[in-house]
Structure 1
């Protein structure tokens, strides 16, 4: 629950230009598509995907950390990680399955990205369905569990000798394509007003130095 009075107080420490930027960015954010990083151990790859999520308006990133801890490089992510919602699955024996179940509960179809089977080509992908795109490590790819339980498979057409793309490149290509088509469609892809308010409040707090000090002052004045 958002404390409207606290939010109004904290907004006083943020410039009008920044608040306007938040509203503009939120108008282009979506949860119609989400990204899943499964056991991606290279920080530069994970960070580049995170950066692409921010650029193309994807609000949620799910990380499955069975074998590796997912780390984001600030240098590569360029601060984009501050503005996204991360859902980390790292503490249970069945992290992959837990992530999969969470996505299904939220109404996503789970799409495994792979060039190695009878996948749907990117240009033919149905953007009207709420989808979570799963990206795995380069050598092993998406896990057997995801491959066996996915609702669909997606691949990027390639006509060269190389059989696969770096995952950060693949993610950027896929997200650029599906979000561009999504915004031209009649799909109700935008965040709800409540979601926008919640994220906006979080972004305001992340913009303020010495946040706890300001909060304590506010509550002391209003106790």
Structure 2
């Protein structure tokens, strides 16, 4: 077995193996008050990997151009659309007006297992601050919440890793209805 290194070879492999039955959905991510620019860079990579429409950066979330975002994103920050909406409530209201279903990725009362959620075709995953999670004022504006069960002693995954797990389940899991 030989590692594929050429970009064209990698693209061909991905195209051949990404399931034809994958959902055609509009996916976005709201990054609520993130602290770490490395996480933001990682989130750009995740967003590109799952074909997301955009990232919405709120509060103090670092934004491009930022050297640490560039280091982690490996150029994906140039391929994924993003916008900054300073206030969380404005961001939630704007996304709802645009027809997005807001889904918090959060350990919360009433949250559903991420593999059992009926994901709609226009979805925005709401991802909270790395330490404090999704703020209660933002949770109140969400249409639902999902959690990822943990087998070890850790409480949760890194925020952009959790986003990847849920996003790919939304894309590749069973369709709503």
Aligned Cα root-mean-square deviation (Å): 2.5
1:116 paired residue among 108, 121, 125: 108
Contact kept, 8 Å, 1:40 with 1:68, in 2: the verdict is yes
Compute the displacement of 1:151 (Å): 0.8
Pick closer, same or farther for the CA change 1:97–1:131 going to 2, 3 Å.
same
1:70 alignment partner in structure 2: 63
Secondary structure class of the residue paired with 1:118: coil
Q: Given the superposition, is the C-alpha separation of residues 50 and 44 from structure 1 closer, same or farther in structure 2, using an over 3 Å criterion?
A: same
Larger fraction in strand: 2
Q: For 1:46-80, what per-residue CA distance to the aligned partner results, in whole angstroms no more than 9, with x for missing partners?
A: 11011000011112111102x35435521210111
Q: Is the 8 A contact 2:105 2:163 kept in 1?
A: no
Structure 1: segments with no counterpart, 5+ residues: 1-16, 188-223
Quick one: distance in 1 between partners of 2:90 and 2:54? 16
Contact 2:38 2:72 in 1 (8 A): yes
Q: Offset of 1:163 from its aligned partner?
A: 1.1
Larger Rg: 1
Normalised by the length of structure 1, the TM-score is 0.63
The match for 1:192 is none
Q: Which has the higher helix share?
A: 1
Indicate the residue corresponding to 2:124 in structure 1: 132
TM-score by length of 2: 0.78
Q: CA deviation at 1:131?
A: 1.5
